[in-house]
Amino acid sequence: MILTDFAKALAQLPDPRFRRVLWLGIGLTLALLVASYAGLLWLIDALASDLITLPWIGQITWVGDLLGWGSLGLMLLLSVFLMIPVASAITSFFLDDVAEAVEAQHYPALPPVPRTSFWDGLRDTISFLGLMLVANLLAFIAYALFPPFAPLIFYAMNGFLLGREYFQVAAMRREGREGAKTLRRKHGATIWIAGVLMTLPLSIPLLNLFVPILGAATFTHLYHRLTSPTSRAGRYPSD
């Protein structure tokens, strides 16, 4: 059934509303990474000028250049691992658009719901971003300590986090924050499995950028299926 939800999400990928969220998420993510690197270079330049001064020689300026090139390599390495958490968090700010597009196509009889307020969305995005970054940075320690289990740790951890976030976004629109938490606890295993499914494309370049969109759509279908598993045909029109 989870694969059915994913297939429906995949089939709707050409929807212009999906593409808008995709480009917004990618653009803002790249802008954040560039701004972060610019800030790091500024900090290196400010500190390195007084970093090393030798008698009769003066300041060693090439240390700043070395650190600058080193920082570029570090940012490129970190971006490989952190781009998806950052993209997922930023894109989550726009996931209402994805959920609305899914419901408009598959559940047109549902009454409209108020959009998440800007400040609530910003708070949730910052919270999710912090959680994803901290979890993935700490995971480096686990990868180093248990190398054979690194893929399992990666998929299990990110599957849990992505499932938690996307189901919360999908359910909160119609159940409220507390109602969404209650449903999440009740169906925790199913949500985790669906989250792991969302993490599988994370290791595939370019395809991984579609994960936030497909995740939001898949979990919107999942929410509606879990809340009406037996009487859905009577409540909503057939998909």
Q: What pLDDT, on a 0 to 100 scale, did the predictor assign at position 191?
A: 93
**Using CA atoms, how far apart are residues 113 and 96, in angstroms rounded to an integer?**
10
Supply 23's token pair. 């480009």
Separation CA 121–CA 89 (nearest Å): 11
Measure Cα distances from 145 to 132, 142, 156, 202, 220 in Å: 20, 5, 16, 22, 37
> For residues 198 and 10, what is the distance between their CA atoms, to the nearest angstrom?
12
**What is residue 159's DSSP assignment?**
H
Percent of the chain with pLDDT over 90: 6
Count of CA atoms in the C-beta half-sphere (13 A) of 175: 19
For residue 161, name the pLDDT band (cuts at 50, 70, 90).
confident
- CB atoms under 10 Å from CB of 88, counted, come to 29
Residue linked to tokens 């909160």: 172
Dump pLDDT digits (tens) for 207-225. Answer: 777 777 888 889 999 999 9
**pLDDT digits over 125-138, tens only?**
777 777 877 887 78
Name the residue with tokens 């598993």.
229
